[in-house]
Chain A
Amino acid sequence: MTTLDEQRISELLRSAPVPEPRVDVGRAVRDGRRRRRRRRVGGIAAVTVMAGLGVVGAVQLGGAASRPAPATPAVAASPAGTVSAAPGSPVTCEASWLPRPIGGPVAVANGVDPTGRYIVGDIGTGREDGRVVLWTDGQAGVLPAGARHAAAVNAGGVVVGTNGDGTGWVYRDGGLRFLATPPGYHAVLVHAVNGRGDIAGTARGAGDSHQAVLWSADRPQEYRLVGQPGSAATGITEDGTVVGVMGQLPYRWTPQGTGAALAVPDGYPRASVESAHGEWAIGMVPGVRQGGAVQMLPVRWNLTTGAVSLLPFPGTTGIAGNGDLLVGDGAPLVVAPDGTSRRLPGRPEVRATEAGTYTANGISDDGLTVVGAVYENQVHRPLVWRCRR
Chain B
Amino acid sequence: MADAEREFVEYVSARLPSLHRTAFLMCGDAHLADDVVQQTITALYVNWRRVSRADNVDAYVHRMLVHKLVDEKRLSWAKVRLLGSMPEPERPPVTPHDELAERDSLVAALAHLPRGQRTVLVLRFLCDLSLADTAAAMGCSEGNVKSQTARALVAVRQLLDVTEMSGRNPR
Contact = CB atoms under 8 A, between A and B. Distances in A.
Given A126-B135, A149-B143, A50 B47 contact: yes
Contacts, number: 242
A256 interface: no
Contacts of A3: 157, 160-161
A17 B41 contact: no
Contacts of B73: 354-355
Contacts of A292: 101, 104-105, 108, 163, 167
Interface in B19-77: 19-21, 24-25, 30, 33-34, 37-38, 41-48, 50-51, 54, 60, 63-64, 67, 70-71, 73, 76-77
B88 A39 contact: no
A21 interface: yes
B155 A296 contact: yes
Interface stretch (A27-35, A72-80, A303-311): A27-35
Nearest to B117: A296
Interface in A331-389: 354-356, 375, 378, 380
B16 A21 contact: yes
Interface string A2-27: 01101001101111111111111101
Contacts of A149: 141-144, 146
A315 B143 contact: no
Interface residues of B, number: 97
B46 A46 contact: yes
Given A21-B34, A292-B104, A130 B141 contact: yes
Contacts of A21: 16-17, 19-20, 33-34, 37
Contacts of A9: 106, 121, 125, 153, 156
B90 A20 contact: yes
A189 interface: yes
Nearest to B137: A126
B79 A314 contact: yes
A294 B163 contact: yes
Contacts of A148: 141-143
Interface string A122-163: 101111101000000000000000001111000000000110
Interface stretch (A63-71, A257-265, A283-291): A283-291
B25 A108 contact: no
Nearest to A202: B150
Contact of B146 (A4, A189, A289): A189
Interface of B: 5, 8-9, 12-13, 16-17, 19-21, 24-25, 30, 33-34, 37-38, 41-48, 50-51, 54, 60, 63-64, 67, 70-71, 73, 76-79, 81, 83-84, 86-90, 92-93, 101-109, 111-115, 121-122, 125-126, 128, 131-133, 135-144, 146-147, 150, 153-163, 166-167
23 contacts: A4-B153, A13-B106, A14-B126, A16-B107, A17-B88, A18-B20, A21-B20, A23-B20, A25-B12, A53-B60, A126-B141, A127-B132, A127-B136, A162-B143, A164-B142, A189-B146, A284-B155, A292-B108, A292-B163, A296-B158, A296-B159, A315-B78, A356-B77
